[in-house]
Chains A and B, each alone.
Chain A
Amino acid sequence: MTAEAGDIRAIKARRGRIESAWRVLKTAPFSAWLGMIIIAIYVFCAVFAPWIAPYGEAEIVGNAYQPSSAEFWLGTDQIGRDIFSRLIYGARNTIGIALITTLLSFAIGGTLGVFAAIHRGGWLDQILSRLVDALMSIPTLIFALMLLAVFGKYIAALILILALLDSTRVFRLARATAINVVVMDYVEAARLRGEGLGWITMKEIVPNIMPPLVAEFGLRFCFVFLTISSLSFLGVGIQPPTADWGSMVAENKSLITYGNPTPLYPAAAIALLTVAVNFVVDWFLHRTSGLRDEH
């Protein structure tokens, strides 16, 4: 076979993948489409925030609590920053932080979970499982509060601590899913072949536990900013003047009781994204579980 032929084949394979992805997308129900479109808009806002936002993230552009107007679409906040601009920057910070946190928690929890599944019943599995049990039985918020007091209220510390606490759930899921995969004949076949642990893990197990993990990823991702929001409420979340939706709700929470809509915008932003992610995840799970709906 010539190199050229190889290339063509690769292109063909790639095109095939894109095509099949498109075919799959076409079957997506309305709710999944809605979810994907919303997520796309959010991601767009996050990436291009400085170009979209009419004002700066922490720029004081007017008086406090101006109502919405042509100049300030959603009005201004307690010290005269444009809420619309902060919402857009908030997308960047919120999604960015949540994404890093979730990725980290999946890296930690996923790796250890698969490892524990392979060595099911072994001492490592026992130790990890006990430790995870212990961590899960400590109230997350309060524990996070303590750890933040120990390590300081830096965004890096926040991300690390949330990722660690979140990874316990990922660990459980990864372990449970991987246990079902580890007993499959193709894993046994690889072991009989004499394959090493690393190869079996990466090539045989990981690709097959991805669907539930990806679904969980979407959900945990949404919960990260709810947790951050609760931490902000308790005074240890993301520190001002960084715009992050959770903190924005917490900062302006007292306005709710005056019927002022300011805290509604970031809350709605969170809720909309969560619902969107859930729509997509539901569809994804539905697809991968092979469950059919009645027509």
Chain B
Amino acid sequence: MTELENKLMMATKLAARGRVSRRDFVQLAIATGLTATAGNLLFAKALRAEPKKGGNLKLGLAHGATTDSLDPGLYYDQFTGTACWGTLSNSLTEIDSTGSAVPDLAESFEPSDGAKKWVFKLRNGATFHNGKPVTADDVVASIMHHRGADSKSAAKSLLEPVTSVTADGPNTVIFELTGGNADFPYIVSDYHIPIMPKKDDGTADWSSGIRTGPYILEKFEPGVTATFKKNPNYFKSDKGWFDTVETISIKDVTARTNALTSGETQYLHRADLKTLDLLKQNPNVVIFEVTGYGHYIFVMNVTQPPFDNPDVRNAIKYSVNREEILQKVFQGHGTVGNDNPIAPTVKFAIDPQPQHKYDPAKAKELLKKAGLDSLKVDLSVAEAAFTGATDSALLWQESAKAAGIDLNVIREPEDAYWDNVWLKKPFVASYWAGRPTCDWMFTTAYAADAAWNDTFWKNPRFNELLVAARAETDDAKRAAMYAEMQQLVHDDGGLINLVFNSFVDAHANNLAHGDVAANWPMDGMKIAERWWFAS
């Protein structure tokens, strides 16, 4: 350990007691060879040791609409997710910073019968905001809220495999599934499935806003703001530090940035990548970047020529210069994709080999193997798929020329892109927000019969493995199976994964936190529960 590193360690300890300013600390960190960002993170880490109570947290969120509702089945963006779930509510489980599902309102959960049956034990002492204790009946009612023929819940399909949910006494809930699913605890961590009090008629009471979370709802104006005050009876004593929380919908990124820099908010959701360097220079602001599960992709319909030939697919995969696109379109905020939909932070993720790097020679060779000298294909894009889709496609168009591939970029209308283009046209830009488990991601988009199998890829071996891995409770065996499946998608699938995008946010430098979860932005949308104000 060098002298500088020693000093840094000392400083870290001092910082934890609030004795060293951020500026001094970061300068020291830079001197030891760390970047300023890393220094900032280290400083935040140092501060973490002693969370403090108090303060009014204001979050500037990029989402929110007048159509927002307290109905959890209709939470459809990160405004309702952060405000009406992460701040207000709890699910049975939550995802922690390691990407694992851990108990939240549940105290514990146990699988049996090849993961076809799950028993959840509830915490003792957890109460709703009105003082009523949380019981198994409330959980059942909350789950049933999403089920039924005329349910419009976004979690409806998620809970499709559940055949029954029953209360066994006041503190135990039993789920029966159609097939084994070792990842079921992940499913019930979803932000659409918070636990709500049961009403007299047996249904869940979603409209009152009475939940279990660290903050109590004071006011909710859809599309504008939601305000909360501290829940004094919260069942976790080491969470929920702020006195009040306000989530404000600020759709314009410049306004959002100004709100942070002028001190009106302490958190900036979705920073403007273009001006990030300028924002970095603000001493009161910390850039907060987390690589998540979401990925920007192009998908080929493998049932349609010429994409029905795996060599053509691979030739196309080698003609993309992902690194260039990452740097030019996304300013480096992300990780290049390797045609694997599983993010590196997800359990069981691998990095399939060979890497799909830009290699026009290889692409040409593959084309030749498929009996083609050149290739001309239409690519449908719109910014609705993901911001930067058009620019990415245009850059790709340039790089693909060297591989003898002529990409014809078609700009589709933004509105109803998901209805009219995605799943309809053979080669389109798309986006997956990602899922916290391999099974969830694969079941959603790569299983042969999945409604959203946007590559129309039906690989028998893959589908066999998918069912087997789901019910397997031995981690080592599952790891092997998921590795093989990822390799299969990488080698044979119709997916071109450009990049895993980062959540690039920023916050005031007096805001502190521990290790952050990567399943959603804002510490898994639980920033209000997990973060605090340092002095």
Which positions in A face B, CB cutoff 8 Å? 60, 64-65, 78-79, 149, 152-153, 236, 239-241, 252-258, 260
Contact = CB atoms under 8 A, between A and B. Distances in A.
A146 to B, nearest CB: 10
Contacts of B275: 254-255, 258
Which interface class (under 10, 10 to 19, 20 to 34, 35 or more) fits B? 20 to 34
A149 B261 contact: no
Given A65-B277, A78-B274, A257 B254 contact: yes
Interface in B253-270: 253-254, 257-258, 261
Contacts of B258: 257
Contact of B257 (A149, A152, A257, A260): A257
A253 B391 CA distance: 19
A149 B278 CA distance: 34
B413 interface: yes
Contacts of B390: 239-240
Contacts of A255: 274-275, 278
Given A254-B253, A257-B254, A239 B278 contact: no
Given A257-B254, A258-B278, 12 more contacts: A79-B328, A149-B413, A152-B413, A153-B414, A239-B411, A240-B391, A255-B274, A255-B275, A255-B278, A256-B254, A257-B257, A260-B278
A236 B275 CA distance: 21
Nearest to A65: B277
Nearest to A78: B274
Contacts of A256: 254
Interface in B414-434: 414-415
Given A254-B253, A254-B272, A257-B257, A153 B413 contact: yes
A58 B311 CA distance: 34
Contacts of B272: 254
A256 B278 CA distance: 11
Contacts of B278: 255, 258, 260
Contacts of A240: 390-391
Chain A binding surface, main DSSP class: loop
A153 B272 CA distance: 24
B285 to A, nearest CB: 12
Contacts of A60: 328
Contacts of B415: 149
A60 B331 CA distance: 14
Nearest to B395: A60
Contacts of B391: 240-241
17 contacts: A64-B274, A64-B331, A65-B277, A153-B411, A240-B390, A240-B391, A241-B391, A241-B394, A252-B274, A253-B254, A254-B253, A255-B278, A257-B257, A257-B258, A257-B261, A258-B275, A258-B278
A18 B113 CA distance: 98
A147 to B, nearest CB: 12
Contact of B254 (A65, A254, A260): A254
A23 B224 CA distance: 61
Nearest to B258: A257
Contacts of A65: 277
Nearest to A259: B278
Interface string B323-337: 000001001000000
A253 B275 CA distance: 10
A153 B417 CA distance: 13
B62 to A, nearest CB: 13
Contacts of A254: 253-254, 257, 272, 274-275
A153 B413 CA distance: 7
B330 to A, nearest CB: 11
B112 to A, nearest CB: 52
A258 B275 CA distance: 9
Nearest to A154: B411
Q: Which 5 A-B pairs have the closest CB atoms?
A: A254-B254, A78-B274, A258-B278, A152-B413, A149-B415
A257 B261 CA distance: 9
Contacts of B328: 60, 79
A78 B253 CA distance: 15
B274 A149 contact: no
Nearest to A252: B274
Contacts of B331: 64
A239 B413 CA distance: 12
B499 to A, nearest CB: 16
Contacts of B394: 241
B314 to A, nearest CB: 29
A22 B232 CA distance: 84
Contacts of B253: 254
Contacts of B274: 64, 78, 252, 254-255
Nearest to A257: B258
Q: Which of B258, B394, B415 has the most CB of A within 10 A?
A: B415
Nearest to B281: A258
Nearest to A58: B394
A78 B275 CA distance: 8
B13 to A, nearest CB: 36
A241 B395 CA distance: 12
Interface in B234-290: 253-254, 257-258, 261, 272, 274-275, 277-279
A6 B198 CA distance: 99
Nearest to B328: A79
Nearest to B272: A254
Contacts of A239: 390, 411
A252 B328 CA distance: 16
